[in-house]
């Protein structure tokens, strides 16, 4: 898989996740409770889903909190623009970006948890967006490398099978 194909796959995956987040409240509001329940159940394994910390669409809460909404949106946006950044940055630099993006997210969560400063929808979403977009700079190339490795293994296995094919002279 080429880097361009990996970027397209990442865009599709992250875009579907973001679209599914927006689809859940719409499904619930407009008469598709089973579909909505399935989406809310899916995201319940990764998010606390507290309504007071969620964005709303059609008067219904998203199936993820504001921070998770930021992370999923950031993954999509990061994959969208990651190609240019990845061409210029080495893996160590991209890892540093993710660590650097984790710090504001952790600080915002810690300050809210400790009661020093209450979190806001804006800070939760913004720190999630920053983290998700930086995380995409690691995930997109990782997907490309995984696909390339799987293809090499497949090709190697096919090459070995053709050597053992019946009727083939040794």
- Tens digit of pLDDT for each residue in 4-26? 787 788 899 999 999 999 999 99
Residues 6+ apart with CB under 8 A from 168: 162
In tens, the pLDDT along 39-54 reads: 999 999 999 999 999 9
In tens, the pLDDT along 110-149 reads: 999 999 998 899 999 999 999 999 999 888 888 888 887 8
Predicted TM-score (pTM) of the model is: 0.83
Q: What integer pLDDT is reported at residue 103 of this predicted model?
A: 96
Q: Which of 134, 36, 24 is nearest to 89 (CA)?
A: 134
Contact 36, 58 (CB under 8 A): no
Whether 167 has a pLDDT exceeding 70, the answer reads: no
Q: What integer pLDDT is reported at residue 166 of this predicted model?
A: 56
Q: How confident is the model at residue 56 (pLDDT cuts 50, 70, 90)?
A: very high
Whether 150 has a pLDDT exceeding 60, the answer reads: yes
Q: What is the mean pLDDT of residues 148-153?
A: 82
Whether 163 has a pLDDT exceeding 60, the answer reads: no
Q: Which of 17, 14, 1 is nearest to 143 (CA)?
A: 1
Q: Which of 56, 59, 57, 27 is nearest to 41 (CA)?
A: 27
On average, the pLDDT of the chain sits at 88
3 state SS of 61:
strand
């Amino acid at each position: 898989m080429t880097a361009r194909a990996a970027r397209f796959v990442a865009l599709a995956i992250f875009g579907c996740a973001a679209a599914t987040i927006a689809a859940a409240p719409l499904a619930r509001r407009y008469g598709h409770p089973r579909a909505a329940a399935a989406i809310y159940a899916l995201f319940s394994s990764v998010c606390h889903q507290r309504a007071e910390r969620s964005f709303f669409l059609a008067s219904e809460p998203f199936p993820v909190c504001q921070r998770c909404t930021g992370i999923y949106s950031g993954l999509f946006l990061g994959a969208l623009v990651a190609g240019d950044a990845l061409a210029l940055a080495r893996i160590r630099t991209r890892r540093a970006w993710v660590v650097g993006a984790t710090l504001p997210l952790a600080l915002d969560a810690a300050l809210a948890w400790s009661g020093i400063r209450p979190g806001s929808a804006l800070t939760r979403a913004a720190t999630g967006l920053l983290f998700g977009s930086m995380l995409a700079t690691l995930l997109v190339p990782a997907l490309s490398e995984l696909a390339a490795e799987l293809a090499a293994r497949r090709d190697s296995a096919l090459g070995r099978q053709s050597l053992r094919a019946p009727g083939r002279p040794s």
